[in-house]
Structure 1
Amino acid sequence: MVSYGPPQRVYVPALRADWLTQTFVHWAYPPARIQPLLPRGLTVDTFDGAAWVSLTPFVMAGVRPPGSPAALPPFAETNLRTYVRGPDGGQGLWFLSIEVACPVMLAARAVGVPYHPGRLELARRDGVVDYSGARRGDGPRYRLTVRPGEPIRPSRQDVWLTSRWRAYTRQLGALWETPVEHAPWPLREARLDALSETCTRVVGLPPPVTEPVVHFSDGVRNVRLGVSHPIRHRGGTPAGATPDG
């Protein structure tokens, strides 16, 4: 079971950040729809027999390397992610796409993070939060309006959907793992006032047919992202790679 707080410490972060004004929109899918989208070495994770895909727009603030007093100006980011188990059975995230409004973050492509430059906007008004985003050309687009409510005590499903402490990427023929540490998400009720999206279709999924589960969080600060590293089997071969590399 996924833990409410991080099971590991990130003593030497590669990056620090604050993740703010975050909405989670989660859809259930048959696991057989998700597994073909994953690289070798990852297995779709399920909750009560269903796989899940989540659209998560938010604000990245305070992005800085450790020890640096200077941070990037805040910018918007949007993830489309799913839930997986790694070669060791550990639970984490696989990002189907990431749109970001900060070109500097494209450097993370070096370890396989699927960043794409996008035109993203976020605004708060009259008790609602509006998000919108688009990638150039035929890339994914979305518009989302959510109405945050009262704080909630997270259920078992809420924790499973929001509390993940590692992310997987694929680069140079191998799976890579990035550990993450931050305080537990302070979750609030949320109601969708409007939603249109092509993000799921662009990555090869049919449009969602189930009602989404929605959460809102004002955010977490002092997020510590660890150094990404390739995952190796006991024999020394990187997971997902052939023995000859």
Structure 2
Amino acid sequence: MDIDPVEAAPGQAFPRAFLRQRWEDLTFLHWAVAPELVAPLLPAGTRPDTLDGLSHVGLIGFRMVGLGLGRGPGVPYLGSFWETNVRLYSVDGAGRRAVVFRSLDASRLVPVLVARVTLRLPYLWSAMRLDRDGDRLTYRCRRRWPGPAGTASRMEVRVGAPIAEPTPLEHFVTARWGLHTRAYGRTLHLPNWHPRWPLHRAELLHLDDELVTAAGLPAPAGPPVSVLYSPGVPVRFGPPVTVGPGRRGRS
């Protein structure tokens, strides 16, 4: 499949913002997987999005900052927290490319409860922190609730040079302006807008992770095919729309 490097979504102006936030200090690890392996894990009406016949599993650690509703300010204290997610890549019958979250560990309990109820997103409450030593970043996560309690992840990376022009793979796993989720008997597409990522290549120094397997996926086979870092972007989410009927399958 081909992705236009200047897709329409980044320039899209939502009539109204549903949510506002900022994502900071992101590290992206990705492994290639066969699309038939992840197809059963996607919401009805979507199928695996692929690049050169392969889909991908992502493990992403970052800081959520200033989460708030609409045009209002970010919620004090509760609107900023650490997050680590395991995600897959999807496309629906209308051609909307998105991510599907298998798990989202967050360090604030109230946002976890709200997201689980409103959008049925698989948020989990976890203890997390990021340690920084020059260009070395270490992300730590240990799950509290609902479980499996004690499921943990530790990843350490060294941030490298900025990327002037991302490769097709680097673009594929980061140029995502929406998510698919299943809530209250419907598959929803929740669109978002953010500037193009300022990306850096990164080196994985250490990984000890249980989140990927806890999300129902096989343990990664070998090192990741892509390791990236970004200082972050501001993000706006538009209101969710229902995805039309469709069948899962290969893209």
So what's the TM-score if we normalise by structure 2? Answer: 0.87
Matches within 5 A, 1:148-187: 148-152=159-163, 153-187=165-199
State the Cα RMSD in Å. 1.7
**Is the aligned partner of 1:11 residue 2:15?**
yes
Q: Aligned letter for 1:143?
A: R
Match of 2:233 among 199, 220, 240: 220
Instruction: Please state how far the C-alpha of 1:183 moved relative to its aligned partner.
Output: 0.4
Instruction: Give the 3-state SS of the residue equivalent to 1:33 in structure 2.
Output: helix
Any stretches of 5+ residues in structure 2 without a counterpart?
Answer: none
- Identity rate of aligned residues, in percent? 33
**Is the aligned partner of 1:86 residue 2:92?**
yes
Q: How far does the alpha carbon of each residue in 1:123-161 deviate from its partner, in whole angstroms, 9 at most, with x for none? A: 211321110112134254210011101101211211111
Q: How far does the alpha carbon of each residue in 1:142-186 deviate from its partner, in whole angstroms, 9 at most, with x for none? A: 100111011012112111111101101101111011000010000
Match of 2:201 among 189, 201, 218: 189
Q: Tell me the residue number matched to 1:207.
A: 219
Q: Tell me the residue number matched to 2:152.
A: 141
Q: How far does the alpha carbon of each residue in 1:169-221 deviate from its partner, in whole angstroms, 9 at most, with x for none? A: 10111101100001000000100111011112112222111321100000112
- Quick check: 1:133–1:142 contact (8 Å CA) kept in 2? yes
- Quick check: 1:92–1:167 contact (8 Å CA) kept in 2? yes
- Quick check: 2:139–2:156 contact (8 Å CA) kept in 1? yes
Distance 1:67 1:165 in 2: 19
Instruction: Give the 3-state SS of the residue equivalent to 2:216 in structure 1.
Output: coil
**Is the aligned partner of 1:75 residue 2:58?**
no
Q: Tell me the residue number matched to 1:129.
A: 137
- Quick check: 1:13–1:66 contact (8 Å CA) kept in 2? yes
- Quick check: 1:165–1:180 contact (8 Å CA) kept in 2? yes
Q: Aligned letter for 1:104?
A: V
- Quick check: 2:194–2:233 contact (8 Å CA) kept in 1? yes
Distance 1:227 1:151 in 2: 33
Any stretches of 5+ residues in structure 1 without a counterpart?
Answer: 234-238, 241-245
Q: Tell me the residue number matched to 1:243.
A: none
Between Structure 1 and Structure 2, how many residues are aligned? Answer: 234
